[in-house]
């Protein structure tokens, strides 16, 4: 009807992608709006992250990969030239300027001389308030500055703006094949209670077309047993059934003290008479749909209640996140990433980030100790600064004063017994901080959005 086509690709055990094309009039605005982190333009774009702080670089690298970019990371500048000689076609460079001192300017020029493309993008992450001496329009028109701490959404939007502004970027055939992916349905558990086999098949198929896979119970008794053993969000309940009817089953479920979470129960019946809907609501039904079920009416009902269910789930999850556990060093409210948590994938990313801290902090502490014993002021300043950045990201501010003392000693090239005493104090603090990170991870391991 609209002069387009529809198709799909499917891989057994993985899932299916559906797409369609239509002919429309040209849009009057080139502004594009995407669900956060679902922009198809980023798919396959080649990004190199340069960060001398390995733990921070790994977090940035994980984010880029999560956005389906082809991302790589180097944490040592000596690896830059071999990397670009082997792979000269990167689209975008994300550079953490901390630790580069005044080399950022020359680093940008060096990269431009080694890559094969003309229009490449640079995102320079700089300490808050620090002037790098490079205007965004200087040296490279495709250059953006982002102050620390970088917010995830800010970074995502900056990368997306590069892609849309005309970078000479890698074309990915995957993007064309996946013209329009079907958005994943919220994880809503649905129970269909229906005694008629044909009606079961029809209703199940309709739910699948909307995006939901429903469990099936054949009568009210089976429904009660199912709800007592599984936390369902939505129950579509037929009224007239053998062994136990829908009204009785609803009454038992709603009055049960053993069911942890009460589901939304929607009555389904044919030949409904005037006043039936009010009677269903009186016994505890939350809504009503008449049979034979119409696809659009089913879509309306399930969309209405899904929005409320997801909202309530997210509210409970947000309350769990905001109920801070008692910690001495870590201040949860100062961890900026926690303000952006919206999905289970976000939670998994945060836990991965904590794992990186658990692995990397002992290495940094050992490096600081070695720098002091070797009287190496440059190494001492570098690793103290690195650990300070990690601490700020985790909301650990109480150690900053001790870091400043060590940094000043390194800057003055004055490593002495006081340096060792201060190191021991910092080391003891971080032993307790590592314990708190484990507690924090345990807390977020028990939180889910769905």
Select, from the ranges 96-105, 144-153, 285-294, the one with the highest average predicted confidence (pLDDT).
285-294
Please give the average per-residue pLDDT across 420-429, as a whole number: 93
| Strand order through the sheet with 190-193 | 214-217, 190-193, 234-238, 264-269, 287-290
Residue 182, pLDDT > 50, answer: no
Please give the average per-residue pLDDT across 93-107, as a whole number: 85
Q: How many CA atoms lie within 13 A of 129 on its CB side?
A: 0
180 pLDDT band, cuts 50/70/90, is very low
The reported pLDDT for the residue numbered 281 is: 81
Tell me how far CA of residue 105 lies from CA of 111, 143, 348, in angstroms. Answer: 10, 12, 36
2 pLDDT band, cuts 50/70/90, is low
Domain spanning 190-318: CATH 3.10.105.10: no
The reported pLDDT for the residue numbered 261 is: 78
The reported pLDDT for the residue numbered 171 is: 45
The reported pLDDT for the residue numbered 393 is: 81
Q: Any idea where the domains of the chain sit in the sequence?
A: 38-177, 190-318, 332-445
Please give the average per-residue pLDDT across 419-440, as a whole number: 92
Residue 318, pLDDT > 50, answer: yes
Architecture of domain 332-445: Up-down Bundle (1.20)
The reported pLDDT for the residue numbered 275 is: 65
> What is the separation, in whole angstroms, between the first and last Cα of the chain?
39
* Topology match between the domains 38-177 and 190-318: yes
Q: How far apart are CA 309 and CA 306, in angstroms?
A: 5
Q: Could you tell me what percent of the chain has a pLDDT over 90?
A: 26
Please give the average per-residue pLDDT across 305-320, as a whole number: 77
Q: Which residue has the tokens 């098949």?
A: 201
Q: Which residue has the tokens 């001398």?
A: 52
Architecture of domain 38-177: 3-Layer(aba) Sandwich (3.40)
Q: Higher model confidence: residue 137 or residue 2? A: 2
Q: Higher model confidence: residue 201 or residue 275? A: 201
The reported pLDDT for the residue numbered 183 is: 34
Q: Which residue has the tokens 């929005």?
A: 307
The reported pLDDT for the residue numbered 376 is: 94
| Least confident among 9-18, 71-80, 350-359 | 9-18
pLDDT, averaged across the chain = 80
353 pLDDT band, cuts 50/70/90, is confident
Chain segment 361-391, per-residue pLDDT in tens: 999 999 999 999 999 999 999 999 888 888 8
The reported pLDDT for the residue numbered 175 is: 35
Q: Could you tell me what percent of the chain has a pLDDT over 70?
A: 83
The reported pLDDT for the residue numbered 323 is: 80
Please give the average per-residue pLDDT across 249-266, as a whole number: 85
Chain CA centroid to CA 423, Å = 36
Residue 338, pLDDT > 50, answer: yes
Chain segment 117-129, per-residue pLDDT in tens: 777 888 998 876 5
The reported pLDDT for the residue numbered 365 is: 93
Residue 299, pLDDT > 80, answer: yes
């Amino acid at each position: 009807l609209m002069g387009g086509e529809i198709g799909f690709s499917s891989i057994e055990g993985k899932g299916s992608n559906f797409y369609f094309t239509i002919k429309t009039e040209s849009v009057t605005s080139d502004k594009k709006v995407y669900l956060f982190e679902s922009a198809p333009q980023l798919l396959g774009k080649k990004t190199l992250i340069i960060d001398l702080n390995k733990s921070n670089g790994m977090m940035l690298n994980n984010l880029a990969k999560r956005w389906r970019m082809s991302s790589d990371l180097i944490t040592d500048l000596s690896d830059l030239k071999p990397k670009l000689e082997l792979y000269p076609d990167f689209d975008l460079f994300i550079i953490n300027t901390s630790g580069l001192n005044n080399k950022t300017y020359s680093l940008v020029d060096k990269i431009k001389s080694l890559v094969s493309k003309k229009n490449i993008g640079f995102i320079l992450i700089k300490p808050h308030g620090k002037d790098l001496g490079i205007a965004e329009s200087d040296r490279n028109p495709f250059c953006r500055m982002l102050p620390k701490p970088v917010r995830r959404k800010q970074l995502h939007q900056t990368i997306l703006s590069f892609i849309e502004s005309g970078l000479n970027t890698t074309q990915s055939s995957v993007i064309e094949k996946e013209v329009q992916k079907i958005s994943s349905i919220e994880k809503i558990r649905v129970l269909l209670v229906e005694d008629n086999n044909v009606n079961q098949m029809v209703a199940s198929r309709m739910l699948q077309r909307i995006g939901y896979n429903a469990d099936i119970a054949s009568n009210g008794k089976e429904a009660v047993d199912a709800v007592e053993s599984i936390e369902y969000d939505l129950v579509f309940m037929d009224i007239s059934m053998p062994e136990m009817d829908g009204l009785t089953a609803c009454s038992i479920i709603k009055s049960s003290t053993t069911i942890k979470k009460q589901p939304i129960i929607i009555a389904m019946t044919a030949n409904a008479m005037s006043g039936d809907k009010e009677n269903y609501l009186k016994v505890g039904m939350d809504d009503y749909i008449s049979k034979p079920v119409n696809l659009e009416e089913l879509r309306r009902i399930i969309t209405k209640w899904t929005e409320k269910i997801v909202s309530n789930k997210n509210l409970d999850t947000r309350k769990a996140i905001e109920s801070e556990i008692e910690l001495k060093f870590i201040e949860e409210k100062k961890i900026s990433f926690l303000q952006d948590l919206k999905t289970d994938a976000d939670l998994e990313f945060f836990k991965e980030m904590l794992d990186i801290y658990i692995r990397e902090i002992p290495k940094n502490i050992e490096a600081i100790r070695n720098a002091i014993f070797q009287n190496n002021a440059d190494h001492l300043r570098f690793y103290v600064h690195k650990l300070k950045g990690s601490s700020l990201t985790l909301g650990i501010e109480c150690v900053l004063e001790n870091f400043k003392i060590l940094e000043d000693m390194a800057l003055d090239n004055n490593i002495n017994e006081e340096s060792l005493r201060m190191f021991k104090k910092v080391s003891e603090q971080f032993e307790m901080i590592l314990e708190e990170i484990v507690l924090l991870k345990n807390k977020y391991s028990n939180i889910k959005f769905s």
